Amino acid sequence: MEFQFYMPTRVITGEDCIRKNKDAFRALGTKAMIVTGARSAKANGSEKDVTEALKLADIEYVVFDKVMSNPTIACVYEGAAAARKAGADFVIAIGGGSPMDAGKAIALLAAQDISEDDLFKGQYENKILPMAFVPTTAGTGSEVTPYSILTNDKAQTKTSIATPLLFPALAFLDGRYTKDLGITTTINTAIDALSHGIEGMISVKANPVSDVLAKESIRQIRECFKALKEGSLTAAHREQLLYASMLAGVVIAHTGTTAVHSMGYSLTYFKDIDHGRANGLLLAEFMKFTAAGRPDVIESIITAMGYKKLEELEKDLEELLGAKEAITAEEISKYSSIAIKAKNIGNCPVVPEEKDLIKIYTESFGLSV
Ligand code: NAP
Ligand code: ZN
């Protein structure tokens, strides 16, 4: 057995974990830039808990709260310029995947000069501002991944900066911050985490440890399906989803994602479909495609989730996601031509061709061929 496992992020969980561990910020620097979205971190108490902890720890801070969903390249350059101007020496990102991913790019760009042309090329100096993350959605796992995914208008898709430099030093998981997350975003983000666990098991980069974590993550997410369908999540469900999402993040930190994510990016970029929902719409058909060449992998996923057949998972996903968006054959053809160029296509054990992507989109949206 030959594999490597690397997880440098210190994960701290539990109610009030930020204030209880306020001194952990001291190891990161003396002036923080808080990177967040416009509203939710103020409403759910996470930003206040961070600023109070910083005050108690005698650490200065500035706030950059301009991160939009699916952050743009312009947004992260603006954030990095603000961090330099303020003299911030570490970053605290609070929010869903968007502020966390923006926080990573800002921490990188504040520490070194990288032109837009070189942003996704992977050649970076060994310099970045240290980071602490507070996820307030339970889905992306960005708090434990080395990826920052940005809207890339030149390529008309979303593109990742991927480097181990992007692992945050600290992640604080407090389920209370996700308490008021609406049911639609809760479902979409839970399906994103599910997709990470499933794609992580399918990926050619899966290893024995990532498989253990993925199985536990997808099992826990399935346990929440009933409450997600009924909209009856308890605080315990919220904690469970946040935990499962972190586990799935550790999985994709090792395995990467697959064609599901590459294909989902077009649905987000062109049709404004939420990231997790986009993955969920494509997941079952991609699993059927993979099952033709690797039935063993798909069977172990289905078994770990407590199902007997893939069709049972497909039905649950349909119930959770509801009516599907309309899509045309022209759109499918365009999205397939973009997705086939993505790096994560190479992680698929049964490597799809462009015609296979067309078929997966077509079947996923119930279009007649
Ligand atoms: P998001 O774009 O971060 O947030 C979606 C919406 O939810 C925003 O309107 C946000 O409001 C709101 N929100 C966040 N937390 C909330 C809370 N606790 N209560 C109420 N509303 C809340 O969504 P996301 O699905 O978490 O992240 C998606 C992004 O993550 C995509 O860009 C995707 O590509 C990326 N992603 C990254 C990785 C990775 O490994 N780095 C993996 C998967 C996905 P505010 O704007 O006011 O905060
Ligand atoms: Zn994702």
- Give the closest residue to 20 by CA, choosing from 59, 45, 44, 52: 52
The CA 294 to ligand 2 mean position distance, Å, reads: 22
- Please give the average per-residue pLDDT across 128-134, as a whole number: 98
Strands (DSSP E) contained in the chain are 10-13, 31-36, 60-64, 90-95, 131-135, 147-152, 157-162, 170-173
Q: Provide the 3-class DSSP secondary structure of residue 110.
A: helix
Q: Rounded to two decimals, what is the model's pTM?
A: 0.97
pLDDT digits (tens, 9 = 90+) for 232-243: 999 999 999 999
Cα–Cα distance, 253 to 141 (Å, whole number) = 9
What is each CA distance from 28 to 7, 142, 145, 155, 232, in whole angstroms?
Answer: 18, 19, 19, 35, 39
- pLDDT-based confidence at residue 368 (cuts at 50, 70, 90): low
Query: What pairing do the DSSP bridges indicate for beta strands 90-95 and 31-36?
Result: parallel
3-state helix, strand, coil in the chain (%, to 5): 55, 10, 30
pLDDT digits (tens, 9 = 90+) for 292-335: 999 999 999 999 999 999 999 999 999 999 999 999 999 999 99
State yes or no: pLDDT of 128 exceeds 70. Answer: yes
Mean pLDDT of the chain: 97
Burial status of residue 272 (CB atoms within 10 A of its CB: 0-12, 13-18, 19 or more): exposed
Q: Output the ligand 1 site: residues, CB below 6 A.
A: 37-41, 44, 69-70, 95-98, 101, 136-137, 139-142, 145, 147-149, 158, 177-178, 180-181, 185, 189, 192, 275-276
pLDDT digits (tens, 9 = 90+) for 257-267: 999 999 999 99
Cα–Cα distance, 199 to 290 (Å, whole number) = 11
Q: Which atom of ligand 1 is nearest to the CA of 36?
A: 48
Which residues lie near ion ligand 2 (Cβ < 5 Å)?
192
State yes or no: pLDDT of 228 exceeds 90. Answer: yes
Cα–Cα distance, 282 to 354 (Å, whole number) = 15
Cα–Cα distance, 186 to 194 (Å, whole number) = 12
State yes or no: pLDDT of 51 exceeds 80. Answer: yes
- pLDDT-based confidence at residue 367 (cuts at 50, 70, 90): confident
pLDDT digits (tens, 9 = 90+) for 144-185: 999 999 999 998 899 999 999 999 999 999 999 999 999 999
Give pLDDT, residue 1. Answer: 83
- Please give the average per-residue pLDDT across 122-130, as a whole number: 97
Q: Over 65-88, what HEC string results? A: CCCCCCCEHHHHHHHHHHHHHHCC
Sequence length of the chain is 369
pLDDT digits (tens, 9 = 90+) for 65-119: 999 999 999 999 999 999 999 999 999 999 999 999 999 999 999 999 999 999 9
State yes or no: pLDDT of 369 exceeds 60. Answer: no
Q: Which residues does 4 contact at the CB level (< 8 Å), separation at least 6?
A: 207
Ligand closest in space to the Cα of 133: 1
Largest CA distance in the chain: 63
The CA 45 to ligand 1 mean position distance, Å, reads: 16
